[in-house]
Amino acid sequence: MSAFERATPRIDANLSGNAGDLRRGVTLAFRSSPAVKARVKTFLDELVRVAPGQHVYQPEELHVTVLSIISVTEFWRREIRQLAAGRAVINDVLPRQRPFKVTFRGVTASPGAVMIQGFPANDALETMREELRRAFAQKGLGDRLDRRYKINSAHMTVMRFRRAEADWKRLAAFLAENRGTDFGEMEIRRIQLIWGDWYASANVVRTLQEYPLDPD
C-alpha cells in the first residue's frame, strides 16, 4: 500500500509488448467456481473503473496455483523433457488427495499486483503440496519446484500493472474498502495440470490433464 501512496508501483514491462513474451511453464492449479467467478467479475468491473488501462485477468483466467512444476521462464525448453517424469509423480500423488473447501474473502496487493485472498477450510491443500514436494524430491526432481518462492497461500491474482499513469491513492482507498469483501466459498474436486504463460492468458493456456480428487 505504501507503493501506491507514493505512486511507485511495480510496472510489468512485459505487458507493453506481450506478444514477444516467451515465458512459458507448467503449473498445477484449480479454477474458481461459477459463483465465485461471478462475484469476482463484479469486483473487477469496479476495479477497472478505479484503475483503467491496467492488465485485468478475465474470468476464465482466474486460478489458484497449487504448485509450479516448470517455472514460467523463457528457459522452459531446458526443463520440458523432465515433464513426463513429473507427471508420473503427480499421477501417483494426486489421486490419493481429498477434496477441500476454500473461502475467498477480501483483497490484498503487492507493489505489482492485486489479489483476491483465499482461505482453505483445513490443511488439505498444504498437505497436498508437501506430499508433492516430497515425492518430487524422492525422484530427484525437487530442485524444479518453488523456484521463485515457496508457495503457501491460496490467492487469485486479478490485476497487474502495465502503466504508471493512474490515481494510485484512489486505488489504495478502493482496495482498503474491499479488504473484507466476501467472494464466496467453493469446494475443489479437481486439480488441473496446465501449460501457459505468466498471465495464464486464455489464448495460451492448455489443460494437459485433470485429476479428480478422492472423495472417500
**pTM for this one?**
0.91
The domains of the chain are located at: 2-212
- 213 φ/ψ sector (left φ>0, alpha ψ -120 to 50, else beta): beta
Residue 30 C-alpha cell reads as 484449480
Class of domain 2-212: alpha beta
Provide the CA 76 distance to its chain's centre, in angstroms.
18
With a cut of 90, say whether residue 155 has pLDDT above it.
yes
> What is the pLDDT, as a whole number, of residue 210?
96
Place of cell 505468466: 198
Between strands 24-31 and 190-196, the pairing is antiparallel
Average confidence score pLDDT of the chain: 91
> What are 16-55's pLDDT values in tens digits?
765 678 899 999 999 999 999 999 999 999 999 999 999 9
